[in-house]
Structure 1
Amino acid sequence: MALTDSNAFVSMSSSADQDYPPSNILDPSENIFWMTTGLYPQEFIVTFKEPIDIREIRFVTSNVKRFVMFSTSNQEPKNFETILEKTLSNSENRLQTTTHTLDRSLEVRHFKCVILAGYDSFASVHALKFDGGNNRSGKKY
């Protein structure tokens, strides 16, 4: 199931370009993307109308050097817990794919990603996908 089918929406982003809007993060195609505008850090929050269970995260980017991901199951986007912090190697404008399996299933209402640094003035997010793994729903988002 794609994020666009799971009642997910981008509830906050630190930048928006009319040609590459934050809503593109939810598009399942890696050819459609959100482009940051200028300085770092850059961040976005994806909110789910109903909480989802996640076990694995797949994150496809370009020109991202360092990022950190957070989640919360709270009704409001606050009291986030860190899920993952990672430094990526320079892919020289090619897509960077990060797949991370969590040590346990997490219930997520709000998912936040902060791009702390990039290899260029602009970075892009091409895909964000979640897998429920072996939990009660087993769904992929």
Structure 2
Amino acid sequence: MISLFYVIRNDKVFWMTTGLYPQEFIITFKEPIEFRQIRFVTTNVKRFVMFTTSNQEPKNFETILEKTLSNNENNLQVTDFTLDRSIDVRYLKCVILAAYDSFSSVHSLKFDAENSRTGKKY
């Protein structure tokens, strides 16, 4: 499998919250992908939850991951997760529920994935 990088590809670029929680973003894939591993790189995130759906529209999401992270004193929080099974995903929604500071940031979101419909690898 080849790793897919979404959200941010540049170490000097990141997405920052506006200071009120919860904050959320949705990633849309052109075609459904299948993945099992996720790497989430953030700062000041305390608690988050991720949802997915393989529907044509972004609705009827299923919770795949909910975590509380340790306070890393404004340094990067690199968190790797392996799901208990591979899942097909067209939309991934991430909700940051709480943070250790007024602002938090997302630096990257990486999936180990392949296109489950055609067998093509990304």
Structures share a fold, TM > 0.5? Answer: yes
Query: What is aligned with 2:70?
Result: 89
Describe how 1:1-141 pairs up with structure 2 within 5 A.
2-3=4-5, 26-132=7-113, 137=119, 139=121
Could you list the runs of 5+ residues in structure 2 that have no partner in the other structure? none
CA distance in 2, matches of 1:55, 1:138: 16
State the distance in 1 between where 2:99 and 2:50 align. 15
Q: Is the 8 A contact 1:105 1:132 kept in 2?
A: no
Cα deviation digits, residues 10-32 of structure 1 (max 9, x gap) = xxxxxxxxxxxxxxxx2223331
Matched-pair identity in %: 69
Q: Deviations over 1:27-73 (max 9, x none)?
A: 22333110110110000000011111111010000000000001000
* Per-residue deviation, 1:74: 0.4
Q: Which amino acid counterpart does residue 104 of structure 2 have in structure 1?
A: A
> What TM-score do the two structures reach when normalised by structure 2?
0.88
Aligned residue type for 2:44: N
Give the AA of the match of 2:74: N
Aligned length: 118
Which contiguous aligned blocks of 4+ residues in structure 1 show a shift greater than 4 angstroms?
A: 135-140
Whichever residue aligns with residue 78 of structure 2, its letter is T
Q: How large is the RMSD of aligned CA atoms in angstroms?
A: 1.9
Cα shift at 1:137: 4.3
CA change 1:98–1:137 in 2 (3 A) is: farther
